[in-house]
Each structure stands twice: as C-alpha cells, then as structure tokens.
Structure 1
Amino acid sequence: MDLQLRHLTAFVTLCEEGTYTRAAARLHITQPSLTRTIQDLERVLECDLVARPARKLELTANGELFLQRSRGILTEVNELQAEMRTRSQVRVGFAWLLPSDWFAATRARYEELGGQITMHRNDNPAAALHQGTIDIAVARNFTQPTAAITWRRIGTEQRVLAVSARSDLAHAAGLRWADLAHHPLVVNTQSGTTTPDCWPDPDPDREIVTCGNFDEWIELIAADRGIGAVPAIAEHRAPHPDVVYRELPDIPDSPLYLGWRRTPPPPRSVRRFLDAALATTDSAR
C-alpha cells in the first residue's frame, strides 16, 4: 500500500478533533474504519505516529513532524485543486452571431475569475447540449423543454426584415410587418427566429421555404425565394451584397435563451460561468 491523501486527511482530522469519535463523525466514517486507516498509515510509514497506551491523544515525535508536513501538503493540494477548477474550460455552443455586448461582458466576468471559454459553432446548439458536446448553449429557439435541460430567457433582440435587393420590398415606402403575412417566408428550422407564427393570424396557404442553417438562409433571401427576419446584429455582422435589411415599426423582437444540462448536475466551472452570465443579464435590465 502506498501513502494516499486519505491517510493525510484522516490523520490531520484526528489531530484537530482530539478523539477518534469526533474525527470519525467529521469524516462521515465509523470509528473502527478511522482506526484502521491510522494503523494502515503507520504501517506504510513504518513508524508510530500516535503514542500508545495513552488516556488522551498524544503524538510521537514522528507524529508531530508528519502532522506539520501533512497540513502543508493538504493546503497545497486544496489550493491547486481550486486553481485548476477555476481554469477549467467551459464549452459554449452557438449557431451564429453571438449577441455582442452580452457575451463580451459575460466573458470578461468569467475570465476575471480565471476561467476559460471555448467557442463551438453548431447549427443546432440545443441538440449539441443534449449530446453533451457543449456545456452551455446560446440559442434563439429550441425544441420542447426536457427534464434534463434548463432554459433561461436572458433577453430579447431587435429584429429586422431581410429581403432580396431585387425585391420590390427592398425600398417600398411605409412598409409594416403586418403587410408581410402572406409573402413567401424563408425559415431556418434549426436556428432561425422567424416562423409563420410570428404574425397574429398565420396564413395556412403561405409558401414556406425551409433550410437548416444561417448560410443557406441568407442565400435563399438573396435569391429572392422569400422574405425573412433576423436579429438586427446581422445587418452589420453578416452583410450580403444581394440582401437588404430593413427596420419596421411593428416588427416583434426575438427572444434569446441560455441553456445548460440539469442532469447530470453541472460542474463548478459551469456554475461559475452561469453566475457570470446571469449577473450580466440582470445588470442589463
């Protein structure tokens, strides 16, 4: 048997509590189990640490030295564990165009704590979260909630209309969202924000053109296959020479969600990220 951290922990706890009974209770083990651990430790070290017989706990000279060194080792191990946990990488998944201000503030908060973030682009971050390939999902939509995943609405984003530069809608005066309820609609089924239900009375006969990611979506808009709508950040961060983005007075905002696994329980690094992310959300309100 080799010397193990459990030996050091048991011995230091015994010395701090002064009796086997109190030390065993603090360690959540039985008194005979603690006694065996101390005896095993002495066999590993090939020396006595506890004086026998004695009416109260007394240490030998070797025991005093071992106690001093053990405390230092346990302190260093605990500090190392805490430091490495703060440096654990959190995998953040997103489909396209992270919300700039919110994410920048969240990243700064988390990195100030010593944490690290890795970014993972995925057409369906909700599915990636279920599969365990990411720790956090930033999503603008998701399928039906499940018991294994927690979704938290962290805000909304202003939305803009997207149309082909060749469309008459690109420069039509007085255009409103309500006027567009019957136009062909391009829907990104994986990560899009706009469906027919975004209009009060969806047209059952409306032409719907579907795609699976943002790149396909914007090319379909450019080809004038239909209209669409996206968060306003796309206007500056995803310009396209054949797409015109327009603000409309009655266009609804789109929600933004943060998702994480409830089961198994998230590790400490993910909980620290969530604290930073939700603090950023609360301070923005």
Structure 2
Amino acid sequence: MALSDHLRELRARLVKAALVLVVAFVVALFFYDFLLDLILRPYNDAKQALPESVDTKAYIASAGGPLLLQLKLCGVAAIVASSPFWLYQIWAFLVPGLHAHEKRWTRVFIAVAGPLFFLGVATAYYVLPKGLEVLIGFTPDGLENLVEFGEYFSFFVRMLLIFGIAFEIPLFVILLNLAGVVSGKALGRYRPWIIIGTFVFAAVATPSTDPFSMLMLAIPMLFLFVVAEVVARSVDRARGRGRGTEQWSDDELSPI
C-alpha cells in the first residue's frame, strides 16, 4: 500500500474509534449515579472502618466542579468500556505488516494481557479501602479530614492504572524470553535482585504509600514473576538452550 493509503486507513480507524468512544460516553452519562457510587465505595468503606474519633468528609471545591467531575468520570468509563474496540482497531491497523510468527505471538499477548490488566485493577479496587483507612487514620484528634473529590478521583485512577500495568510486567518478561533476549537461567540467577526490585517498585509506585497496598502489589507480582521464570525455562528446554555442547558464547566462533 502507498503511504497515502495507509494514512487513509489510519484516519478511518481513528474515526471509528472516536465514534464508539462518543457513544460510550453518552451511555455512561445515563449511568453516572452508578459510576459515582462505584468510585465512592472504597472511600465510604474506609470511612466506616475508621474509629469514631476520626472525622472525614468528601467535598467538591468549586461551583463548576460537579460538571467537571461528571465529564471526567464518564470519560474514563467510556475509555475503559470501549477499550476492546479501539484496541482492536490498533491491532487491525498493525497486523498486515506482521509476519506469521509475529501474528501468533501478538494474539497470545492480547489474550493474556487483558485479563492480567483487569486482575491488577480488581486487586487495586480491593485494597484501596484499606489504604485509605490507613492514610486518613493519621488525622490528629480535634481535626476534620476533608477529601477534595477531584484529587480523590485522580488518586483512584492512578492506583488502578499502576496495579493494572504492574501486573503486565511479567508478561513482558516472557515476551523477552520468546525473543531470545532473556533466558530462564538468567531469571533464576537474578531472582534475589528481582525480589528486592519488586518490593522497591511496589513501595514507590503505590500512591497510597501504606505497607498493606505495597504488599498487595508486590506479592502478586512476585508470583507472576515465578510463573514467568517457569515458562521461560520451559521455552528454553523446548528450544534446546543451555545444553552445553550446542551453545557457544557471544565471542566464540561456531564450527559452522
């Protein structure tokens, strides 16, 4: 295809994705109350778990805040709800330029990446009330903790995105192994450093900064890393890697 044809195809797919996104946004407006309750539920659960001496209240700071909140909330919901469609449009635009083996591995990636991301989002939603309880619990006696809803919503979205993306990291490790960049033996050799790095990443990445959220992010990631190492070693054995006589170092000239 000529460059102009590629650009026309890209424009057509972008228009389709934009139209579906607009439709999803309009539909989300009708479910605004349900979405608002879904976002507020972690905060309300944390509020109920707090001792009576800690007083907290959510508020909206400006006159235009409620409208902006509704647009932001429905926009995020539309992006998430329509993600299968616009991700497919990206895939359909790229797939003609891939080789057969590349198409096979990208299908595997798409099939696994989605569930892993949603698993990370679900984990974040589960631990968020406990994280909020710990953070709000530091409020001194005699003071009221006021939670600005715009900041809370940004915190909520960051928390879910970080957990969802973090759960994808072991999948990228497997893809690097399939590409021949990382071996299962190397993963085993650097396992102690991977464990330390995972806890450091969890401590830095979690917006709530509480130990409970850090552990709930680090422990599943370590489990997924173990699965990635097992898969990588299985792939290495299937490809005949690490059998001594059949392998040479990067600086060694093969008999061929």
TM-score, normalising length from structure 1? Answer: 0.21
Q: Which has the larger radius of gyration?
A: 1
Q: Please, what TM-score do these two structures have when normalized by structure 2?
A: 0.23
Which protein has the bigger strand share? 1
